[in-house]
Amino acid sequence: MRGSYRRRLVQGPPRINQFKPSGIPARALQSIVLTIDEYEGIRLADYQGLDHSDAAEQMGISRPTFSRLIEKARNKVAQALIEGMTLTIAGGNFDFVQNLYRCEDCGDTSPQPLGKELAECPECGSGNIIDLGRRHQHRGRGKNKI
């Protein structure tokens, strides 16, 4: 058991794991890490426009916890934008609800149930597909194992 600290439910892995300011060499850039659960907070509150209590419910956490999470997440994104930092989305305390595959040929993304592998792109039939949840796998341990 890992104690009472509950994992936050995240609908699926992010499509992109890193954003980098253009025209600046990587060595001259500072970076900031947005955790997967913070990313989900931004997705729910700012992308989908849910209020804090609905977003909290989707993530399986309390509303005050969500409010702290989203405040921290927005702060990190603002810092990256204003200061021109590389933003990496990784880590955190979460369980994916479902997985996501991206086709490298047509760019289509397909949600998949956890633990179910996708062999080819449903859109174009290509076998050149990437398991977007796999790279976060080491963090996805728990009841929803990928």
Residue 24 or 124: the one with the smaller Cβ distance to Zn ion is 124
Angle between helix axes 63-83 and 52-59 (nearest 10 degrees) is 100
* Minimum CB distance to Zn ion, residue 123 (Å): 4
Q: Minimum Å distance from CB 140 to Zn ion? A: 24
- Smallest gap from Cβ 118 to Zn ion, in A, equals 11
| CA 23/CA 12 separation, integer angstroms | 31
CA distances from 3 to 7, 36, 93 (A): 11, 20, 13
Least distance from Zn ion to the Cβ atom of residue 39, Å: 24
Q: Which residues bind Zn ion (CB under 5 A)?
A: 103, 105-106, 108, 121, 123-124, 126
Question: Closest CB to Zn ion among 80 and 121?
Answer: 121
Name the residue nearer to Zn ion (CB basis): 51 or 105: 105
Which residue in 41, 44, 19 sits closest to 31, CA to CA? 19
* Cα-based distances in Å from 134 to 38, 81, 85, 100, 117: 19, 28, 25, 9, 11
Nearer to Zn ion, 57 or 108 (CB): 108
